[in-house]
Chains A and B, each alone.
Chain A
Amino acid sequence: MRDELIRRALVSIPQLLLMSFITFLFIDLAPGDILAKYRFDPRISTETVKQIEEKYHFDKPVLVQYGHWLWRTINLDLGYSFSREAEVTGVIAERLFNTFLLSFFSIIFTWLIAIPLGIYAAVKQYSWGDRILSAISYFGMSLPSFFLALLLMFLVYAGRDLPFVSSIPIGGMISPGYENMSTSGKILDRAAHMVLPVIILTIGALAGLQRISRGNMLEELRKQYIVTARAKGLPEHKVVYGHALRNAINPLITLFGFEFSSLLSGAALLEIIVNWPGLGSLMLAAVRAQDTFLVMGSMLMGGVMLIIGNLISDILLVIADPRVRKA
Chain B
Amino acid sequence: MKLFKNNRAATKFFRHPLVWPGLIVLAILYLIMFFAEFIAPYDFDNGNRENSYQPPSRIHFIHDGRFSLRPFVYPYSFGFNDFFERVYVEDRTKPTPLSFFVKGDKVKLWGIIPISRHLFGTKSEKNSVRFYLLGADAVGRDLFSRILYGSRVSLTIGFLGVAITAILGFLAGGISGFYGGKTDWLIMRFAECFMLVPSFFLMLALRSAFPMKLSSTQVYLLIVVILSLIGWAGFARVIRGMALSISKRDFVTAARALGASDFRIIFQHILPQTLSYAIVSMTLTIPGYILGESALSLIGLGIQDPQASWGNLLSAAMNVSDIQYHPWILIPGLFIFLVVMAFNFVGDGLRDALDPNR
Contact = CB atoms under 8 A, between A and B. Distances in A.
Given A269-B295, A269-B299, A290-B212, A15 B192 contact: yes
A292 B344 contact: no
A19 B196 contact: yes
A283 B207 CA distance: 11
B317 interface: yes
Interface string A169-187: 0110000000000000000
Interface in A71-102: none
B198 interface: yes
Interface in B200-229: 200-202, 204-212
Contact of A290 (B208, B287, B317): B208
A57 to B, nearest CB: 19
Which of B299, B314, B321 counts the most chain A CB atoms within 10 A? B299
B204 A295 contact: yes
A153 B198 CA distance: 25
Contacts of B334: 147
Given A142-B344, A146-B294, A284-B299, A16 B196 contact: yes
A157 interface: yes
A147 B318 contact: no
Contact of B208 (A18, A153, A157, A287): A287
B199 interface: yes
Nearest to A301: B201
Given A139-B341, A147-B337, A299-B205, A261 B195 contact: yes
B201 A264 contact: yes
B209 A280 contact: no
B320 A29 contact: no
Interface stretch (A20-28, A110-118, A222-230, A312-320): A20-28
Nearest to A147: B333
B196 A303 contact: yes
B298 interface: yes
Interface residues of B, number: 46
Given A12-B196, A23-B206, A268 B201 contact: yes
B198 A265 contact: yes
A141 interface: yes
Contact of A264 (B198, B294, B314): B198
Contacts of B107: none
A287 B344 contact: no
Contacts of B126: none
Q: Is the interface of A mostly helix, strand, loop or mixed?
A: helix
Nearest to B341: A142
Contact of A295 (B190, B195, B205, B321): B205
A171 B344 CA distance: 31
B62 interface: no
A281 to B, nearest CB: 9
A242 interface: no
Interface string B171-214: 00000000000000000011011111111111011111111100
Contacts of A295: 204-205, 208
A158 interface: yes
A166 to B, nearest CB: 15
Contacts of A119: none
Contacts of A283: 201, 204-205
A273 B300 CA distance: 11
A272 interface: yes
Contacts of B189: 15
B73 interface: no
A302 B197 contact: yes
A145 to B, nearest CB: 8
A153 B189 CA distance: 41
Interface in B313-358: 314, 317-318, 320-321, 323-324, 327, 330, 333-334, 336-337, 340-341, 344
Nearest to A15: B193
Given A146-B314, A150-B320, A273-B318, A299 B299 contact: no
Contacts of A261: 195, 198-199
B301 interface: yes
B291 A144 contact: yes
Contacts of A158: 324
6 contacts: A23-B202, A23-B206, A157-B323, A283-B205, A288-B212, A299-B205
Interface of A: 12, 15-16, 18-19, 22-23, 26-27, 29-32, 139, 141-144, 146-147, 150-151, 153-154, 157-158, 170-171, 261-262, 264-266, 268-269, 272-273, 279-280, 283-284, 286-288, 290, 292, 295-296, 298-299, 302-303, 305-307
Given A142-B340, A265-B198, A283-B201, 16 more contacts: A23-B205, A26-B206, A29-B209, A30-B210, A142-B337, A147-B314, A147-B330, A151-B330, A157-B321, A158-B324, A261-B198, A261-B199, A265-B200, A290-B211, A302-B198, A306-B198
Interface of B: 189-190, 192-202, 204-212, 287, 291, 294-295, 298-301, 314, 317-318, 320-321, 323-324, 327, 330, 333-334, 336-337, 340-341, 344
In the A-B complex, the 5 residue pairs with the closest CB atoms: A265-B200, A302-B201, A142-B341, A147-B333, A264-B198
